[in-house]
C-alpha cells in the first residue's frame, strides 16, 4: 500500500511531519533548503512520495506548480518506486547543467542505497546549490 506523499516544505514554507523522516531530519532538510535558496537566489524544493508514470512527466508537472518555476529546482523522490527526478527551470538550468544534476543524483542514490534517505537529500541539495553558485 502506498503511503501519502510527503512534501518536506510546501509552497507556504510549512513543514509536513508525516512521512519517513524524524523531526530532526525534517529540520536538517528545511535548513538545507533555506541555505540553498539564500546562497543561490534559486528556489529549491523536495517532493517525496509516489510519482505517476511516466515519473519524469509527473515531476515536471510538480515543478511547474512552484512559484517562479523558471528559477526553481525540484528534487522528486519516490523511494517505493526507486525513482529520483531532478527538474530545473529555464533560469536554474543555466547554472546547474544536466551533468551536474546527474552527479548529484548519483551521490544521492549512493546514500539512499546505504539507508540514509534524509542525508542523501540534504547532500544532493548542497551539491546542486554548490554547482549553481552564489547569486
Q: How far is CA 20 from CA 11, 15, 31, 55, 103, in A?
A: 20, 13, 17, 20, 24
Residue 69 in domain: yes
Q: How many separate domains does the chain show? A: 1
Here the cell at position 72 is 526553481
Q: What is the pLDDT of residue 20?
A: 79
Model pLDDT, residue 21: 87
Strand 43-48 versus strand 72-78 pairing type? parallel
Whether residue 126 is contained in a domain is answered as: yes
As a whole number, mean pLDDT of residues 99-128 equals: 96
* Cα gap 45→86, rounded to integer Å: 10
**Domain range spanning residue 27?**
21-132
Residue 18 has pLDDT above 90, yes or no: no
Q: Across the chain, what does the average pLDDT equal?
A: 89
Residues 30-60: tens digit of each pLDDT: 999 999 999 999 999 999 999 999 999 999 9
6 pLDDT exceeds 90? no
- 12 within some domain: no
Q: What is the pLDDT of residues 59-93, one digit of tens each?
A: 999 999 999 999 999 999 999 999 999 999 999 99
* 124 pLDDT above the threshold of 70: yes
Return the CATH number at 39.
3.10.310.50
Amino acid at each position: 500500500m502506498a503511503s501519502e506523499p510527503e512534501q518536506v516544505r510546501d509552497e507556504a514554507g510549512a513543514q509536513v511531519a508525516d512521512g519517513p523522516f524524524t523531526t530532526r531530519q525534517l529540520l536538517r532538510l528545511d535548513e538545507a533548503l533555506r541555505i540553498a535558496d539564500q546562497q543561490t537566489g534559486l528556489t529549491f524544493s523536495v517532493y517525496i512520495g509516489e510519482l505517476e508514470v511516466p515519473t519524469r512527466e509527473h515531476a515536471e508537472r510538480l515543478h511547474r506548480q512552484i512559484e517562479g518555476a523558471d528559477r526553481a529546482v525540484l528534487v522528486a523522490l519516490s523511494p517505493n518506486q526507486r525513482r529520483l527526478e531532478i527538474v530545473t527551470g529555464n533560469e536554474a538550468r543555466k547554472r546547474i547543467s544536466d551533468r551536474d544534476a546527474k552527479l548529484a543524483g548519483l551521490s544521492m542514490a549512493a546514500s539512499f542505497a546505504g539507508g540514509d534517505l534524509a542525508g542523501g537529500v540534504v547532500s544532493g541539495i548542497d551539491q546542486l546549490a554548490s554547482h549553481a553558485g552564489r547569486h
